[in-house]
Amino acid sequence: MAHEAVTSGNLKQYLSDVLGVTVPEFIIQAAIAKVETVHALLDATYPEHDAILIEYMSAALICCAGAPRRIQSQGAASGASRSFSNDAKALSALRRSLADLDTAGITAPLVGADPSTSSMFLVV
């Protein structure tokens, strides 16, 4: 059975609640369009619940490709203050979870490699 496509509202909620980021609408729409290119293949390959998770995780990673700031703490009243973090660990964990779920690697070309991992070349 075909699952519903990613929606802007649900993706915004996922980004905010899970990753603590806010992303401009045009980025969200572009990420959704990119993920929709593999929608039918995900439907044909995975159970509905897995396809939904894979699409939202992929769209979130695409949205966060520019390493958005995450609100770490927020004040209020007269002294309004905010502090942000740029911790990439959450995105790396999300990439690992996505790779574990998307065993066929359908979304790998969409999200790319984890930029926080580095390669080491040895010259002998």
Q: What is the pLDDT of residue 62?
A: 92
Summarised one tens digit per residue, pLDDT across range 33-80 is 999 999 999 999 999 999 999 999 999 999 988 655 555 566 667 777
pLDDT at 1 over 90: no
84 and 70 in contact (C-beta within 8 Å)?
yes
Q: What is the pLDDT of residue 11?
A: 96
DSSP codes, 52-96: HHHHHHHHHHHHGGG---EEEEE--GGG--EEEE---HHHHHHHH
Map out the domains of the chain as residue ranges. Answer: 8-111
> Facing residues of 70 across strands?
85
Q: What is the pLDDT of residue 90?
A: 76
